[in-house]
Structure 1
Amino acid sequence: MPAGRDDDALTWDGDDDPTLDVGAAETTEAVNQTGAAAPLPEGWSAVGKGSKTLDSPEGEDVEAPVDPRGSLESDAQGPAPREPMGNVELISLGVLGGFSVLYAVGWLIGGLRLQDAAQFLVASVAYQVSLWLAILAPIVWFGSVYLLTTGSKKWVRFLWLIGGVLFLIPWPFIMVGAIGR
Structure 2
Amino acid sequence: MTSDADDALSWDGDEDQPHHKSADGPAKPALPGGWTAVGKDSESVGRIEADGTITAAQEPRSLSTPMLLLVGIVGGVYLLYTIGWIIGGLNLQVSALFLVSSVMYQVGVWAAVLAPALWFLAVWVLTRRSATWTRVVGLLAGVALLVPWPFVMTGAVGA
TM beyond 0.5: yes
**Which consecutive unaligned segments of at least 5 residues does structure 2 have?**
1-20, 32-42, 47-55
Paired position in structure 2 for 1:93: 71
Match of 1:150, SS?
Answer: coil
Residue 160 of structure 1 pairs with residue 135 of structure 2: no
Question: Which residue of 45, 49, 61 corresponds with 1:70?
Answer: 45
Residue 175 of structure 1 pairs with residue 153 of structure 2: yes
Residue 120 of structure 1 pairs with residue 98 of structure 2: yes
Distance 1:123 1:63, change over 3 A: closer
Equivalences for 1:1-181 in 2 at 5 Å? 66-67=30-31, 69-70=44-45, 80-178=58-156, 181=159
What is the root-mean-square deviation in Å for CA atoms of aligned residues?
2.9
Contact 2:77 2:143 in 1 (8 A): yes
Count the aligned residue pairs.
Answer: 118
Deviation, structure 1 residue 63: 7.3
Rounded to whole Å, the distance in 2 between the matches of 1:66 and 1:134 is: 46
Distance 1:87 1:122, change over 3 A: same
Question: Identical aligned pairs, as a percentage?
Answer: 42
TM-score (norm 1): 0.58
Larger Cα-atom Rg: 1
Rounded to whole Å, the distance in 1 between the matches of 2:149 and 2:125 is: 27
The residue type paired with residue 70 of structure 1 is V
